[in-house]
Structure 1
Amino acid sequence: MDIKLSQCFIAIDDHDKALPFYRDVLGLEVRNDVGYGGMRWVTVGAPSQPDVDIVLESPLADPNASPADREAVAELLAKGHLRGVIFMTDDCDATFERISAAGGEVLQEPIDQPYGVRDCAFRDPSGNMVRFRQPRTQ
């Protein structure tokens, strides 16, 4: 059996704020932009991984959700407690400099971790943690 990742989802509160970060700052390509019933999904991905999609979706893309549920999820998103994503990079320091120069909100500068990677972290415009890791060479 061969299983591969196809899609992952990141909750965002404003597609028009999130899209420039993921497209222009991170360099992901926009693959789809779909609206339905007052909701919107934007699919982005790395050109080097055409089979893996990242779907930027509203925090609670469920038309049957209660107002209380919507409020609870919005609060978690605002605090940065919903989904996060970790990207691989071949140069953590250059990635950090590029995103910092574009105004990315820094959570962690590049650091060598004891588990064998060098990584850094930012918040996206919705508050999600976005990490970038580079395997360390021995």
Structure 2
Amino acid sequence: MKLTSLRIITKDIRSSVSFYEQITGLKAQWYTEDFAELSMPLITIAIGSTQTMKLFGEHMTESESTQSTIIEFLVSDVDGEYERIKEVTDHIVQEPTTMPWGNRSLLFRDPDGNLINFFTPVSAEAVKKFS
């Protein structure tokens, strides 16, 4: 089994795609007016409007709570990314903080309220884990 994609369902696809283009530095590939993807070497972020959920079934028009998932990005300099990200969004949840497991972490929200974590390993164990 191989995890290939993370799909985000949004009410405002243009805003969400623009946001993810800004934070990743990637250009989205649009397939329809309701579906776009940002491809990275190991995973693709797919973004679909709530309209795409109707294709999965009659009662699938609304996404559920975004409170239990964090989308995480390994970055080389979380403090540098913080300076850039605070220009993109004012929904910073936690400024860069070193966590007990050895990652320095920046937590913020996308336009739909999804939590995003940019992190940089800083302890010897965390650096080794992600090398």
Provide the TM-score with structure 2 as the length reference: 0.78
Asked whether the equivalents of residues 104 and 124 of structure 1 are also in contact (C-alpha less than 8 Å), the reply is: no
Distance 1:7 1:43, change over 3 A: same
Shift of 1:126: 1.1
Aligned residues: 122
What does the per-residue CA deviation read over 1:36-77, in whole Å, with 9 as the maximum and x for residues that have no partner? xxx72110134xx2x5211012357134323xx635x36x3x
Asked whether 1:65 is paired with 2:66, we answer no
Where does 1:14-29 land on structure 2 (aligned, <5 Å)?
A: 14-29=12-27
Shift of 1:14: 0.8
Alignment of 1:1-138 (within 5 A): 3-30=1-28, 32-35=29-32, 40-46=34-40, 49=41, 51-59=42-50, 61-63=53-55, 64-66=57-59, 70=61, 73=63, 76=65, 80-81=66-67, 83-138=69-124
Aligned counterparts of 1:110 and 1:86: Cα–Cα separation in 2: 14
Q: 2:83 & 2:107 partners in 1: Cα distance?
A: 12
After TM superposition, the structure 1 stretch with the greater mean CA deviation from structure 2, 52-61 or 126-135, is 52-61
Q: Distance in 2 between matches of 1:104 and 1:21?
A: 12
- Could you list the runs of 5+ residues in structure 1 that have no partner in the other structure? none
The CA deviation at 1:123 is: 0.6
Contact 2:22 2:88 in 1 (8 A): no
* Sequence identity percentage: 25
- The CA distance in 2 between the partners of 1:58 and 1:15, in whole Å, is 5
Identify if the C-alpha distance between structure 1 residues 104 and 19 changes in structure 2 by more than 3 Å, giving closer, same or farther.
Answer: farther
Distance in 1 (alpha carbons) for counterparts of 2:11 and 2:68: 12
Counterpart-to-counterpart distance in 2, 1:33 and 1:104: 27
Unaligned runs of 5+ in 2: 125-131
Paired with 2:58 and 2:117, the residues of 1 have a C-alpha distance of 30
TM-score, normalising length: structure 1: 0.75
Task: Please identify, of 55-64 and 16-25, the stretch whose mean Cα deviation from structure 2 is larger.
Answer: 55-64
